[in-house]
């Protein structure tokens, strides 16, 4: 297996060296003529003499198919070094300190707003991103970066409750299932909430009929009560291995991102196998919709290579393969038709929003006037 893989890699490298780029194996390889320089520029418009040997990618955990990084290396000779995080706040803290060494990060919507406001991002050079034509125009030009000056969508998803149908034969339809002490007592130590200052207070806000962006003191006081009443029953606040713990049935349910739930259901490559009992729901009171975006850091020394990688990720077949692996939702309209019937069937079962579900989804918006969510979260975690 390893041997076969090496042989294939060598063959690809030879093709690349002969000037064929990835075109021989990758029909949708549609680079424009951006880049400008002649010399070592090949038919795909990429000037190989300008490529760095390594690119540092700071991404969420379990959020890219490792085979894609191998393909990129085989085609361009660039090694993508991946480091992972599990919350926007952790990522922001690291890059705010400066000299993080990373080239590309993947902030969610409201965190893109923060990065722009704090001067942490560099404008995107769209002349190097010919594959942006494959993205769904309805998912571009969002409130958090009008005109996509600093960011391009990577994946989007929704946050609800993932659960095991063995333990919930009648399904779940309300946040009460994860918040109400009389319902959770029987599952003490067997479920988790996201370790996230926007997601977890946001879920409780929706449960009490409020916007997940509300900073109304009375609403937040109620949220604090709900979260503190729930805390003794929780296994953990967890944003890192919920997929594995649901699949192994260490958890019977979890506040989770849709792709985490899909990974628990379908497994994740060679990492762990899936559990067919896992289902996912956006409770009737509503939940979060979000989008994670590729952003090049202001202090990235490898901005050109970063653009080449981002353009690669926007190839329809690369995006489809990645989506199939991580189970989120691709903003790439031309990738959709390449996704397997099995995954599409799960989307239809609630792992993706339909019209009715959209009505109860809400985006998180940055609120520069308040530290209410951070304060509340620090307090909850310290109790
Ligand atoms: C993947 C993280 C999903 C991103 N583990 C949530 N915004």
pLDDT digits (tens, 9 = 90+) for 62-76: 999 999 999 999 999
| 105 CA from centroid of ligand 1 (Å) | 12
Residue 340 has pLDDT above 80, yes or no: yes
Segment among 13-22, 313-322, 334-343 with least mean pLDDT? 13-22
Residue 10 has pLDDT above 70, yes or no: no
Q: Are 248 and 154 a contacting pair, CB within 8 Å?
A: no
Q: Which atom of ligand 1 is nearest to the CA of 292?
A: 7
d(CA 135, CA 139) in angstroms, rounded, equals 7
What's the confidence (pLDDT) of residue 42? 65
Which residue among 107, 151, 157 has the greatest number of ligand 1 atoms within 8 angstroms of its CB, and so is best to mutate?
Answer: 157
What's the confidence (pLDDT) of residue 8? 40
| 60 CA from centroid of ligand 1 (Å) | 6
Which letter does DSSP use for residue 146 in this model?
Answer: G
**Percent of the chain predicted with pLDDT > 90:** 86
Q: What is the mean pLDDT of residues 99-128?
A: 96
Q: Which atom of ligand 1 is nearest to the CA of 62?
A: 5
Residue 133 has pLDDT above 50, yes or no: yes
What's the confidence (pLDDT) of residue 3? 41
Q: Are 173 and 283 a contacting pair, CB within 8 Å?
A: yes
Residue 20 has pLDDT above 80, yes or no: no
Q: Is 341 exposed, middle or buried (CB count within 10 Å of its CB: 0-12, 13-18, 19+)?
A: exposed
Q: Is 174 exposed, middle or buried (CB count within 10 Å of its CB: 0-12, 13-18, 19+)?
A: middle
What's the confidence (pLDDT) of residue 368? 80
Nearest CA to ligand 1 atom 2: 60
Q: Are 33 and 128 a contacting pair, CB within 8 Å?
A: no
What's the confidence (pLDDT) of residue 40? 63
What's the confidence (pLDDT) of residue 265? 98
What's the confidence (pLDDT) of residue 7? 40
Radius of gyration of the chain (CA): 21
d(CA 368, CA 376) in angstroms, rounded, equals 16
Residue 173 has pLDDT above 70, yes or no: yes
Residue 36 has pLDDT above 70, yes or no: no
Which letter does DSSP use for residue 270 in this model?
Answer: T
Look over the chain and give the mean of its residue pLDDT values, rounded to a whole number.
91
Residue 37 has pLDDT above 50, yes or no: no
| 86 CA from centroid of ligand 1 (Å) | 7
Residue 357 has pLDDT above 90, yes or no: yes
Nearest CA to ligand 1 atom 4: 60
| 158 CA from centroid of ligand 1 (Å) | 10
Q: What is the CB < 6 Å shell around ligand 1?
A: 60-63, 108, 257, 260, 290, 292
- For 219-260, how does the pLDDT look when each residue is reduced to its tens digit (9 = 90+)? 999 999 999 999 999 999 999 999 999 999 999 999 999 999
| 258 CA from centroid of ligand 1 (Å) | 9
Q: Which atom of ligand 1 is nearest to the CA of 239?
A: 5
Which residue among 57, 59, 63, 245 has the greatest number of ligand 1 atoms within 8 angstroms of its CB, and so is best to mutate?
Answer: 63
What's the confidence (pLDDT) of residue 44? 81
Phi-psi region of 160 (alpha: psi -120 to 50; beta: other; left: phi over 0): beta
Q: What is the mean pLDDT of residues 282-301?
A: 97
Residue 4 has pLDDT above 90, yes or no: no
Q: What is the mean pLDDT of residues 177-185?
A: 98
| 292 CA from centroid of ligand 1 (Å) | 8
- For 107-117, how does the pLDDT look when each residue is reduced to its tens digit (9 = 90+)? 999 999 999 99
Which residue among 257, 295, 361 has the greatest number of ligand 1 atoms within 8 angstroms of its CB, and so is best to mutate?
Answer: 257
| 83 CA from centroid of ligand 1 (Å) | 14
Total length of the chain: 383
Residue 45 has pLDDT above 50, yes or no: yes
d(CA 144, CA 289) in angstroms, rounded, equals 13
Nearest CA to ligand 1 atom 5: 61
d(CA 22, CA 13) in angstroms, rounded, equals 9
Q: What is the mean pLDDT of residues 270-276?
A: 97
| 84 CA from centroid of ligand 1 (Å) | 10
Q: How confident is the model at residue 369 (pLDDT cuts 50, 70, 90)?
A: confident
Q: What is the mean pLDDT of residues 287-292?
A: 97
**Percent of the chain predicted with pLDDT > 70:** 89
């Amino acid at each position: 297996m390893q041997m076969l893989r090496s042989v294939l890699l060598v063959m690809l490298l030879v093709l690349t060296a002969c000037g064929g780029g990835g075109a021989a194996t990758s029909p949708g390889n549609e680079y424009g003529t951006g880049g400008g320089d002649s010399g070592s520029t090949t038919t795909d418009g990429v000037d190989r003499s300008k490529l760095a040997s390594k690119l540092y990618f700071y991404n969420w955990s379990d959020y890219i198919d490792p085979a894609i990084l191998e393909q990129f290396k085989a085609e361009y000779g660039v090694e993508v070094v991946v480091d992972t995080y599990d919350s926007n706040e952790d990522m922001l803290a690291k890059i705010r300190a400066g000299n993080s060494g990373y080239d590309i990060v993947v902030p969610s919507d409201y965190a893109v707003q923060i990065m722009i406001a704090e001067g942490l991002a560099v404008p995107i050079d769209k002349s190097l991103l010919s594959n942006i034509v494959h993205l769904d125009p309805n998912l571009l030009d969002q409130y958090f970066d009008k005109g996509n000056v600093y960011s391009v969508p990577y994946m989007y998803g929704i946050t609800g409750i993932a659960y095991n149908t063995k333990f919930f034969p009648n399904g779940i339809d309300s946040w009460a299932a994860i918040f109400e002490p009389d319902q959770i007592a029987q599952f003490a130590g067997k479920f988790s909430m996201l370790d996230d200052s926007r997601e977890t207070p946001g879920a409780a806000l929706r449960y009490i009929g409020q916007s997940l962006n509300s900073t109304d003191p009375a609403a937040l006081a109620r949220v604090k009560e709900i979260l503190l009443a729930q805390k003794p029953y929780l296994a953990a606040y967890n944003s890192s291995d919920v997929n594995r713990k649901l699949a192994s049935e260490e958890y019977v349910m979890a506040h989770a991102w849709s792709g985490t739930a899909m990974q628990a259901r379908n497994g994740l490559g060679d990492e762990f196998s899936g559990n067919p009992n896992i289902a996912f729901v956006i409770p009737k009171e509503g939940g979060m919709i979000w989008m994670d975006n590729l952003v090049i850091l202001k202090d990235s020394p490898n901005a050109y290579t970063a653009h080449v990688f981002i353009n690669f990720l926007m190839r329809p077949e690369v995006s489809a393969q990645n989506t199939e692996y991580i189970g989120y939702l691709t903003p790439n309209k031309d990738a959709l038709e390449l996704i397997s019937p099995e995954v599409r069937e799960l989307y239809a079962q609630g792992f993706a929003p339909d019209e009715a579900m959209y009505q109860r989804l809400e985006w998180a918006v940055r609120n520069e006037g308040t530290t209410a969510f951070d304060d509340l979260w620090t307090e909850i975690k310290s109790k």
